[in-house]
């Protein structure tokens, strides 16, 4: 049996015994283990046990939420039989919005664990822009949810932000208008300081934290920065052409999770677009298509300050959230360095925040993707049990 299956089989057997014993305090652990096992898509008896503990989930048609950036598309995942807590789940930089496959899977798994989930994609992140305006949208969405008695009987909702939406969720949760309306906030692979992360993506230099290794940055993040900085690195007449090429490459990268044939066709389209561009745009798009971080980084370094919105960084926010904060990060993250969560946790504790941080070998940037020993699996289950118990 593979390591992950052995670990989860052991955990499943343990939880069955707990359930039989009737320990009410174990309910969050059972729900968290069920979430973990279903997210791993293991099949067999282990997943059958998890499915037996999960609620049936009804996925509603998308709806619109009013915000200061206009109406934003959102979607409900509701466990049958109701729930005592609603959660706002927000993806990172991705053009698929609420239809992003991993987001949909996590939303369904979370809802199966007994919480009502509302997914919502931030307009700026859909458009490859990381700004404090996204925190405004999160603030407005939480206020909208908290005002609905069917979603928030106690007037509070949970927040789960993935990747850059994680740091933005912490920023929003600390704002006066919703500080008392947030039950908890989870940053899944999120940032503490946006400017510091952008510098890492361009140079490979990350903030240091004890026991954490820095890995070379992923090309996706550098391509996103170049997309945003296009109006500062090429003449005005070339901006849209370069952005169109980068957008095609990023879309192809996203398609790798859906259809590899379509993804490869789209990657080829991005390469073909090089031929129709003047210099220097043709060379810059070539670097994107070749995933040449070494060449793109120095080009972008002088322009990072203009893209680093201090108001989008939780470390620089005037107030920390009053609600419990959960920081979850993969130990080899190459989009947002792992050390970001450790340094952010220390900063938040200095502001008297209630923080729990877990650095896990089981996840990559923001998804479950590793085999692990039972002890590592249990740490992740315990982490989510604390979240689901709030």
Give the mean pLDDT of 164-184: 97
Q: How confident is the model at residue 328 (pLDDT cuts 50, 70, 90)?
A: very high
Long-range contacts of 14-22 (CB under 8 A, 24+ apart): 15/49, 16/49
Least confident range from 54-58, 143-147, 333-337: namely 54-58
Which residues, at least 6 apart from 137, have a Cβ–Cβ distance to it below 8 Å?
Answer: 67, 68, 69, 72, 120, 122, 123, 124
Distance (Å, whole) CA 304 – CA 198: 7
Confidence of residue 309 (pLDDT cuts 50, 70, 90): confident
The per-residue pLDDT for range 238-266, each reduced to its tens digit, is 999 999 999 999 999 999 988 999 999 99
CA atoms within 13 A on the CB side of 386: 19
CB 171 within 8 A of CB 344: no
pLDDT of residue 310: 80
- Reduced DSSP (H G I as helix, E B as strand, rest coil) percent helix, strand, coil of the chain, to 5: 55, 15, 30
Length of the chain: 390
Helices (H) and strands (E) in the chain, counts: 16, 9
For residues 75 and 50, the model is more confident at: 75
Distance CA(307)–CA(129), nearest Å, equals 9
Q: Is the domain covering 57-193+313-388 a CATH 2.60.450.10 domain?
A: no
Look at residue 38 in the predicted model and tell me its pLDDT. Answer: 54
Cβ neighbours, 10 Å, residue 94: 25
SS3 382: helix
Q: Which helix (H) or strand (E) holds 265?
A: helix 260-273
Angle at 310 between CA 305 and CA 311, to 5 degrees: 145
Give the H or E element holding residue 84: none
Distance between CA atoms of residues 4 and 124, nearest Å = 37
Name the DSSP letter for residue 380: H
**Whole-model pTM above 0.85?**
yes
Instruction: State both tokens at 163.
Output: 């990747």
Listed range (95-109, 230-244, 314-328) with the worst mean pLDDT: 95-109
Q: State yes or no: pLDDT of 144 exceeds 60.
A: yes
Please state, for a pLDDT cut of 70, what percent of the chain lies above it. Answer: 83
Pinpoint the alpha helices (H) of 41-127: 44-53, 101-112, 123-126
Q: Where are the domains of the chain?
A: 57-193+313-388, 219-307
């Amino acid at each position: 049996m593979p390591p992950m299956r052995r670990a989860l089989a052991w955990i499943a057997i343990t939880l069955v015994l707990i359930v039989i014993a009737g320990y009410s305090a174990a309910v969050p652990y059972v729900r968290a283990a069920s979430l973990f096992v279903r997210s791993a898509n293991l099949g067999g008896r282990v997943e059958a046990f998890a499915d037996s503990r999960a609620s049936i989930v009804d996925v509603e048609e998308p709806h619109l939420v009013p915000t200061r950036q206009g109406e934003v598309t959102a979607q409900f995942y509701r466990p049958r039989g109701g729930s005592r807590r609603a959660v706002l789940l927000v993806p990172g930089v991705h053009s698929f919005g609420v239809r992003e496959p991993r987001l949909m899977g996590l939303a369904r798994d979370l809802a199966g664990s007994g919480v009502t989930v509302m997914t919502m994609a931030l307009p700026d992140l859909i458009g490859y822009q990381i700004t404090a305006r996204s925190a405004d949208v999160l603030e407005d969405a939480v206020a909208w949810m908290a005002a609905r008695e069917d979603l928030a009987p106690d007037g509070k909702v949970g927040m789960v932000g993935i990747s850059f939406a994680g740091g933005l969720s912490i920023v929003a949760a600390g704002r006066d208008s919703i500080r008392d309306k947030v039950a908890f906030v989870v940053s899944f692979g999120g940032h503490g300081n946006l400017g510091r992360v952008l510098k890492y993506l361009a140079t490979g230099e990350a903030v240091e934290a004890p026991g954490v290794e820095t890995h070379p940055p992923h090309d996706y993040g550098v391509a996103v920065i170049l997309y945003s900085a296009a109006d500062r690195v090429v003449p005005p007449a070339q901006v849209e052409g370069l952005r169109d090429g980068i957008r095609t490459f990023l879309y192809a990268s996203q398609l790798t999770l859906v259809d590899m044939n379509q993804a490869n066709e789209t990657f080829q389209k991005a390469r073909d677009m090089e031929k129709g561009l003047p210099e220097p745009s043709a060379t810059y798009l070539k670097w994107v298509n070749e995933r040449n971080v070494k060449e793109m980084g120095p080009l972008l370094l002088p322009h990072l300050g203009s893209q680093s919105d201090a108001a989008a960084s939780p470390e620089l926010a005037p107030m920390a959230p009053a609600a419990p904060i959960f920081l979850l990060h993969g130990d080899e993250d190459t989009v947002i360095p792992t050390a970001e969560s450790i340094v952010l946790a220390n900063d938040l504790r200095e502001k008297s925040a209630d923080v729990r941080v877990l650095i896990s070998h089981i996840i990559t940037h923001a998804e479950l993707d590793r085999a692990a020993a039972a002890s590592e699996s249990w740490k992740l289950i315990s982490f989510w049990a604390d979240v689901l118990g709030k």
